[in-house]
Structure 1
Amino acid sequence: MKIIITSDDQGQRLDALLTTKVDDISRTDIQNRLKSGHILVNQKQVKPNYKVKTGDEIEFFEREDVESDIVPENLHLDIVYEDEDLAVVNKPRGMVVHPAAGHASGTLVNGLMYQLDHLSGINGELRPGIVHRIDMDTSGLLMVAKNDIAHRHLVEQLMAKTVTRKYTALVHGVIPHNLGTIEAPIGRNPKERQEMAVVDDGKDAVTHFNVLERFKDFTLVECVLETGRTHQIRVHMKYIGYHLAGDPKYGPRKTIETDGQLLHAGVIGFIHPKTGEYLEFKSELPQYFTEILDDLKKSEL
């Protein structure tokens, strides 16, 4: 993967700039890749604080598969598609995507290492195969790379905003219009470091939505992502005054009693890295979600 610096980015610090150019990669990860030589500028290794110049060519090099201390676990993952290059998995609500502090086991990665024969190594030891993420309490479809070439191609599609990502969400309030677009930058909340928020110096974020069904006090919407910022749909819907139902972090105090936000990644579509064929996969709403919708319908009879 290559990025050519334009005059708009002239003079910015390299590690900070790359966090705005590449989805699902932290500043710390970028700094580690620079130090290990997996990111070069004009074919040379530079420090994270390097100030970029117009015309600079930034190149990301693939990492080899890494040995991992992660224990494979038979978590009976729902693998909806698999070939020698990639897989698509339907993640259940309540499952963390990769090991982190407080979640050493029971993650999607633990299950993938048990069920798949290979995983890409680009994202390092703790995130093998992980191209993008969804929140622990969000259910639905994720792309998984089985080798570094496939990983790079999928990430490039995410950067080019050509991956189809559609989510179904239940939000508080009745949205009067049928269609909408939220274009507001997202970054760390300066008042609460455990949360994200719409902030002036945040990363560009765009969410499109359309209304699927209205209830007395709620609206069922489909959200289509252009970008993939942390907690994007949850933050954007809160920003326009329609908080996700069941959301313990961004939702209102009085909300539907459920284990996390009612948000489901129901559609993922992309170009296959090897065949060039467009593939699209769909996942039906999980049972707990449909039962809540049924209860809302019954309450209005």
Structure 2
Amino acid sequence: MTRSARRTGGCRPTLRMAGAGAAALLALTACSDSDPDPGSDPGKGGESGELSGEVTVFAAASLTESFEKLGAQFEKDHPGTNVTFSFGGSDALAASITGGAPADVFASASPTTMEIVADAGAAAGTPETFVRNRLEIATLPGNPDGIASLKDLTDPGLKVVLCDETVPCGSAVRKALDAGALKLTPVSYEEDVKSALTKVVLKEADAAVVYKTDVRAAGGTVEGVDFPESAGAINDYPITLLEEAPNAAAAEAFVGLVQSAAGQKVLTEAGFLKP
């Protein structure tokens, strides 16, 4: 974070110069030197301390609804800022960041994908876990197939959708299936948790294993079914300011909002677990 300090004080020439014209010129020069540094940017943590400009946040798809609320709150608290989100699979977002995509903040759905960014030297400081999330089965409204357990999803008559195992949701599902010694062949693997849930919402699948937060966000379009194996497949969500953040001051403030009591309230109301 770069800040330009304002130089204060009156015009105090230190040399005596002959002639009124020379004295006036000296006074003018001294006053000019006390002006703010023209290279300062008050909107990005400069003299005024006010924040402005765009903040680009790369975040796991499961954070969509919560982060959009927090983004709106941030813009309200800091007029002149604009929070832009890129939601998707954490692995794809990490690849974009390490590939040079301009971003200020990264919030991942697992420490593993965050490590990709940190190991590449793209994280500023140590990423911190801000929430956790647990899996749940999403079924059609009313649960017409009577799904009551993870094992029920192995019924060959059911069309089940899972997240790809390269993304945190899919990796967590794999842990849950292994814990129950279950083998499940889905009709498709999806690139992120929202894509998997959408298959059920559109009735293109009978069920999907997603996060509890996504089931809650979907409202009455799906029904959630808990299963005990999910207890051993809880994902930690880390967040970090990025090393090459174009708007580091505002980005740091956004991370602060996410970690604040107000931010945690929004996240826990969405179904996330406290870290």
TM-score (norm 2): 0.23
Q: Which has the higher Rg, Structure 1 or Structure 2?
A: 2
More helix by share: 2
When normalised by structure 1's length, the TM-score is 0.22
Structure possessing the higher relative contact order (Cα contacts under 8 Å, 6 or more residues apart): 2
